[in-house]
Structure 1
Amino acid sequence: MTTGEYAQIGQVAERTELSLKTIRHYDEVDLVQPSARSAGGFRLYTDTDVERLLTIRRMKPLGFTLAEMKQLLDCLDILDNPASNAEQRANADTYLLECRNKTHDSADRLRRHLAYAEEFTALLTTHTTAPGR
C-alpha cells in the first residue's frame, strides 16, 4: 500500500498474520478500527492501522490485556501528536516504561519456556527409534 491507499481486511490479515476474526474483534472492542468503509460496508485499513495491529500482535504473546494494549496505543498517539501537552507526554512516557519493563520480564519467561521445550525435544529425539525423526 502507498499513502492514501486502503487495504481490505483479507490483505491486512495476510500482512499481520492475524485472523479475520481477531481483526474484527479488535474493531468491535474499539482497539483498532478501520480508517474507512467501502460503499458495501467492508472494512478498509491504512498503513497506520496495520502498524497498530502489528503493535498489538507483538504485545499479545507477552501477556498484555486488551485494556493495556488500548492504553499503550493511546500513549503512542499522544507522543506522536505535537499538540499534546507536557503532562500528557510525561504520563505516556511513564506508561511506556512500565510496558517496556513488562515486555522484558515476559520475554525472559518466554525464553525460559523455549529452552525447556528444546530440552524436551532433544530428550524425545534420543528416545525415538524410528529413522528420520
Structure 2
Amino acid sequence: MRVEISVRRERDPTVTTNSSTSSSDTAASTPPTPAQGAVMHIGEVAARTELSLRSLRHWEEVGLLKPSGRTDGGFRLYTAADVEKILVIRRMKPLGFTLDEMKAAMTDIETLADAGADAAARDSARARLSATQQDAVVRRQKLVVQLAMADEFLDLISDRPV
C-alpha cells in the first residue's frame, strides 16, 4: 500500500529569494524550499566559512555568488547549499584563481549538478573542469615549493643568534 503525505508550508512573508533576475530587480519570489534547509544570515555564514562579511558581499556584487534569499528588510539569507558553494570558492582562492575563473568553475559545477542540462553542456562543463583541475594541480605544486622556501628561511633565521 502506498501512502502519500502532503505537507503545506505557509509562505514566510519576511523571506524572498533570488530568481534568475539581476540584483537590481525588486520582484520577490518564493522562499527557500524545505529541501534547501534552514537559512542563515551573513554573519553566521561568515563565521562558518571563516570569511569576512566584506568578502561575501563583494562576491555577490561581482556575481560570483548570490544568497538564496533576502528578508523584507534586505538581509541576505543563505542555505547550506550556498555555504557549500562558498567553501568551493574559498578553496580556489589560495590557488590564485581569478574571479572570472572561479565564476566559470562554479557555473560548470552547477551545470553538472543540473539533471536538466543537456549532454553537450555537461560534456563541455566536464572538460572545462578537468582543465581547471589540472591547472589547480600546477598551482598547488607552486605553493608547495613556496612553502618549502619559507621553511628554509625560518630554519636559517632560527639558527642565528639574536
Give TM-score scaled by structure 1 length: 0.92
Q: Distance in 2 between matches of 1:128 and 1:98?
A: 48
Q: Which runs of 5+ in 1 are unaligned?
A: none
Task: Choose from 118, 123, 127 the match for 1:85.
Answer: 118
Show the 5 A alignment for 1:1-133: 3-129=36-162
Displacement over 3 Å in runs of 4+: none
CA distance, structure 2, for counterparts of residue 57 and residue 81 of structure 1: 22
Deviation at residue 4 of structure 1 after TM alignment: 2.2
Shift in Å, 1:111: 0.4
3-state SS of paired residue (1:13) = helix
Between the aligned partners of 1:93 and 1:67, the Cα distance in structure 2 is 18
After superposition, the Cα gap between the structure-2 partners of 1:3 and 1:77, relative to the gap in structure 1 and judged at 3 Å, is closer
Could you list the runs of 5+ residues in structure 2 that have no partner in the other structure?
A: 1-34
Task: Say how many residue pairs are matched.
Answer: 128
Letter in 2 for 1:34: P
Q: Call closer, same or farther: CA 1:104–1:16 in 2, change over 3 Å.
A: same
**Two-structure CA RMSD over aligned residues (Å):** 1.2
Residues 1:28 and 1:115: Cα distance change in structure 2 (over 3 Å): same
More helix by share: 1
Amino acid at match of 1:122: D
What is the TM-score when the length of structure 2 is the normalising length?
A: 0.76
The Cα of 1:3 is off from its aligned counterpart by 4.7
